[in-house]
Structure 1
Amino acid sequence: MLFCFTSSHRTAGFDLLDRLERGADAVIDAIRAEQAVTGSVVLATCNRFEAYLDVDLAQVQLPDHAAAGLVDLIAGAADVAADELRDGSELLGGDAVASHLFAVSSGLESVVVGEGEIAGQVRRAYTSARRSGAVTHELERLFQGASRTSRGVKNSTGLMTQGRSMVRLALDLAESRFADWSAVRVLLVGTGRYAAASLAALRERGVTDAAVWSRTGRAQAFALSHGIAAVPADGLTAAVASADLVITCTVSPALVVTHAIVDEAMELADVDKRLLVVDLGLPRNVEPAVAELERVELLDLETISLHAPLEELQATDSARELVGAAAAEFAAKSAERDVEPALVALRQHVFEQLEAEIARQASRDVNGDIERALRHLVGVLLHTPSVKARELARDGDAAAFIEGVAAVFGVEPGASVAESNVAEQGLETA
């Protein structure tokens, strides 16, 4: 059964998200070591931390125990207090998982609604898990559905093609600090996921003076491919001193731009210099104490998110309708799968009777006419139950078909769907 642990800007502060991001590798290892978890995909972005899991409920006592155990597992691995994590997260099960992921991958749950970067982040999380062998058939179906849905939203509504992103929002907030972007000296710290996007957005505003520094030694390659200057490994402080705007966008688990570095840089700079530092990293790249320095202003993800436009001003009704329809179809297909064991058992029972009858008629059926007629008759008779089974499943009444097959034919496909549905409802409300 699928369910999702989610902690995002909607439920938690960026300090908690920061700690979850730093503990992501440990969380992934802990989840995959759990026997009841047959598959997992962990999504960690600048404003959310989520784990999508396929859980074998036969290996847990009760669904609510599984849900509570997951919170404790993640809290322990990420070194976060369980109560804090419980207050800053949600647990979703059953049909709600697809509805949530489809909305996330379509940009409808982002800080900046409709931002286009999230679809790629979801895809990379899925691809990474798949390469590690952690993706089950159900997770495969879930994430393939999310990919189709985000493409549909992008192609049908244009919601994800209008330049919405955390980078652009940050630069919008910085607009009032700079009268002439062409005169602004910019330092990019890092060559990570936002570096190229930041540079593109800066150039759209007219920035021509940009340089890049990287703790990993990738600055030279990034600079050559993007036509900007590269800062030597030991030149960070001097580069900060000469910059008007510093944008950090690394995936470093440690702070990169510290209070000491900026303090020294401001001592080297002109006395009338003012510096804006934009921290797009999660975990955060800039030490919060930087904001306490004179003539220095810090915009981090938490501050930027507070200025995000209201969802109602950006989301379109058609995008939400597409997501809702896709989630409903996913749920319907999942429900149809619930009746498959009963359908298989029914067909097996009927064909066993058919083969026995064909064997009895073999001596009389010289030309095979009786066999062909019997097989045709069985196919016709099984068509209506097959269609009805799927209709009942889509209407949420798969148990009626399973119980009917058992009552009429004495066929028992195994654990009833009614039992699994009760378990699923218990997990959703945990």
Structure 2
Amino acid sequence: MLLCFSSSHRTADFDLLERLERNAPAVSAALAEHSEVVAGSVVLATCNRFEAYLDIDEPLPAARAVSAEAVIDAVSAASGIAADELRSASSVYCDDAVAEHLFAVSSGLESVVVGEGEIAGQVRRSLENARAAGTVTNDLERLFQDASRTSRGVKNRTGIMTAGRSMVRLALELAESRISDWAQARVLLVGTGKYAGASLAALRDKGSEDVRVFSPSGRAAKFAHSHDILPVEADGLVEALAESDLVVTCSAVTDHVLTPAIMTAAQNLPGTRERRLVIDLGLPRNVDPAVAGLPGVELLDLETISLHAPLEELNAADDAREIVDAAAAEFAAKRAEQAVTPALVALRKHVFDVLDAEIERARGRGDSSEQTEAALRHLAGVLLHTPSVRARELARQGEAQAFVDGASALFGLDVEPAAPRLSAVVRDIADESAAS
């Protein structure tokens, strides 16, 4: 059974998402330890969502609520967030609905800014991290591979990726009214990861020429050299802040880089800028929210930026949703076909066992030839083709058990019953708990 625990900008505030993101490694480890319930897991942690995609051992419908509660307890214990708080700010997706949700997420349909380009790479990296940790099962591998294919299809066949704007570019658009001349504005970039690279590219697109970079982890010089900008030394943060009109933070550190004390020290330096815009793109937050209370400082954080996210580009979003729905339906159909695989294997084995026994008896009578044996094996394959096709058709129609029962009745095959499949439903975790 596939299950997804999801807490996103649609269900939770950014404080909760920040705490979950900060504890993502601990949550991943905790889920891996619950091998009695969780066969495999992939954790996706971004600035807008925290999701755990799980392969649950027990396929029975009755296990759905129990499994969801076990996952909630594991996440709660690892993150230090109360289980009731997680329940009220999260959703659980089961079985086929997991694929539909992930395909929509990876295609940018569930992002704050519909069509954002970063999410596909984040989904891909979450799978790579799970592979490295050894927590990926075959079902999860297929799920995430199909998600990547779907997002590429959406990107290539719709205009949603170009219609949508990334969080970085949206933040800079919101800053337009505060920055009169991008070429003259002095910008301080805090962070040196991939998000910092995207931020620098967006700044340059706006016309920024005076950009310096500071790294809490000491990587400023390397980043600056590779991007042709100036680095800020480890002890130069306060002075760099004093000289900056715009500060963009996108570091992966877990502690606040900018605090009221640091900002006040910058404001007290001779020649400091009277007004300063700070854009905090970090999750966890790079900037203490109390900084916004200082005179002359305006703070745009992820929560504020998300309130200004544009409406969906309707045509592009509708086209993308059709692609996602079709991909999810095909994923569900392929999973349904797995229910008849044991019966098909048993039927094929039965037919060829009978064939081999007859050929062996013919050899004993001296009336067999290679040409006859080859013809008989070909005939057996031809006869098995139609039942194989029909079995998959029945499975896609939700009638897998009908084929299993028919094969058992006609040929006396001992086939394990097809596992019950859950309907593609989405419910709040609180509802799941109430149903148990």
1:193 touches 1:250 (CA, 8 Å); kept in 2?
no
State the TM-score, normalizing by the size of structure 2: 0.93
The answer for the alignment partner of 2:10 in structure 1 is 10
> Is 2:407 aligned against 1:385?
no
The whole-number CA distance in structure 2 between the counterparts of 1:311 and 1:286 is 29
Separation (CA, whole Å) in 2 of partners of 1:237 and 1:348 = 75
Deviation of 1:369 (Å)? 5.1
Give the 5 Å matches for 1:19-30: 19-30=19-30
Aligned positions of 1:117-132 closer than 5 A: 117-132=118-133
**Residue aligning to 2:175:** 174
Q: What is the match of residue 231 of structure 1?
A: 232
Note if 1:294 corresponds to 2:295.
yes
Over 3 Å counting, the alpha-carbon distance change for 1:272 and 1:152 in structure 2 is closer
Partner of 1:153: 154
1:135-194 CA-to-partner distances (Å, cap 9, x unmatched) read: 111111111111111111111113224572000000011100111111111001111232
Q: Is 2:103 the counterpart of 1:82?
A: no
* Alignment map for 1:364-379 (pairs within 5 Å): 364-368=366-370, 370-379=372-381
Q: 1:109 matched to which residue of 2?
A: 110
- Name the amino acid aligned to 2:383: L
CA contact (8 A) 2:187 2:244 kept: yes
CA RMSD of aligned residues (A): 2.0
What is the alpha-carbon distance in structure 1 between the residues aligned to residue 424 and residue 149 of structure 2?
Answer: 29
- State the partner residue of 2:50: 49
- For 1:322, the equivalent position in structure 2 comes to 323
Q: Distance in 1 between matches of 2:240 and 2:370?
A: 88
Q: Read off the aligned partner of 2:393 and give its amino acid letter.
A: E
Cα distance, 1:3 vs structure 2: 1.6
Counterpart in the other structure of 1:359: 360
State the percentage of identical aligned residues.
62
Q: Unaligned 5+ residue runs, structure 2?
A: none
2:313 and 2:190 mapped to 1: Cα distance?
34
Q: Give the CA deviation at 1:375.
A: 2.3
Distance 1:41 1:161, change over 3 A: same
Stretches of structure 1 that go unaligned for 5 or more consecutive residues are none
Decide whether the 8 Å contact of 1:237 with 1:265 is kept in 2.
yes
| Alpha-carbon distance, 1:368 to partner | 4.1
1:38, 1:308 → 2: CA distance? 37
Instruction: Report the equivalent of 2:398.
Output: 396
Whole-angstrom distance in 1 between the partners of 2:15 and 2:382? 62
Which whole-Å deviations, capped at 9, do the CAs of 1:271-310 have from their partners, x for residues lacking one? 7711111000001110010011111111000000010011
* C-alpha deviation, 1:381, in angstroms: 2.0
The answer to whether the 8 A contact 1:6-1:89 is kept is yes
Tell me if the contact between 2:95 and 2:424 (Cα under 8 Å) persists in the aligned partners.
Answer: no
In structure 2, relative to structure 1, the CA distance for the partners of 1:315 and 1:260 (3 Å cut) is: farther
Q: Decide whether the 8 Å contact of 2:95 with 2:423 is kept in 1.
A: yes
Q: 1:272 to 1:245 in 2, by over 3 A?
A: closer
Larger CA deviation: 103-112 vs 162-171:
162-171
AA aligned to 1:280 is: L
Aligned-pair distance for 1:315? 4.3
Q: Partners in 2 of 1:107 and 1:90 — Cα distance?
A: 18
Which whole-Å deviations, capped at 9, do the CAs of 1:377-430 have from their partners, x for residues lacking one?
32222111100000011111111111111222221321x22x432xx3499653
In structure 2, give the amino acid aligned to 1:365: D
| 2:160–2:313 CA contact under 8 A, matched in 1 | no
Deviation at 1:118, TM superposition (A): 0.6
The amino acid across from 1:124 in the alignment is R
Inter-partner Cα distance in structure 2 for 1:292 and 1:263: 11
Q: CA deviation at 1:374?
A: 3.1
Give the 3 Å change call, closer, same or farther, for CA 192–314 of structure 1 in structure 2: farther
Higher relative contact order (CA 8 A, sep 6+): 2
1:323 CA displacement? 1.2
Kept in 1: contact 2:163–2:313 (CA 8 A): no
**What is the CA-CA distance between 1:223 and the residue it aligns to?**
0.9
Counterpart Cα distance in 1 of 2:370 and 2:209: 83
Contact 1:223 1:230 in 2 (8 A): yes
Q: Distance in 1 between matches of 2:62 and 2:89?
A: 25
Matches within 5 A, 1:134-149: 134-149=135-150
> Taking structure 1 as reference, are residues 243 and 208 closer, same or farther at Cα in structure 2, changes over 3 Å only?
same
For 1:235-314, what aligned pairs fall within 5 Å after superposition?
235-268=236-269, 270=271, 273-313=274-314
Q: 1:369, 1:271 → 2: CA distance?
A: 93
1:119–1:147 contact (8 Å) kept in structure 2: yes
How high is the TM-score relative to the length of structure 1?
0.94
Distance between the aligned counterparts of 1:169 and 1:126, measured in 2? 27
Cα deviations by residue, 1:190-249 (Å, 9 ceiling, x for unpaired)? 112321111111111111111111111100111111111111101111111110111100
Tell me the residue number matched to 1:72.
73
Shift of 1:2: 1.7
Q: What is the CA distance between 1:264 and its match in structure 2? A: 1.5
Kept after mapping to 2: 8 A contact 1:108/1:315:
no
Q: Following the alignment from structure 1 to structure 2, what is the Cα–Cα distance between the partners of residues 224 and 373?
A: 71
1:411 to 403, 413, 417: 413
SS at match of 2:165: coil
Q: Which moves more between the two structures, 147-156 or 262-271?
A: 262-271
Distance 1:220 1:426, change over 3 A: closer
Structure 1 residues 313 and 321: CA distance shift in structure 2, 3 A: closer
Please give the alpha-carbon distance, in whole angstroms, between the structure 2 residues aligned to 1:325 and 1:284: 37
Aligned to 1:32: 32
Q: Residues 240 and 91 from structure 1, CA distance in 2 versus in 1: closer, same or farther, beyond 3 angstroms?
A: same
1:188–1:211 CA contact under 8 A, matched in 2: yes
CA distance 1:84–1:181, shift in 2 (3 Å): same
In the alignment, the residues of structure 2 paired with residue 167 and residue 84 of structure 1 have an alpha-carbon distance, to the nearest angstrom, of 30
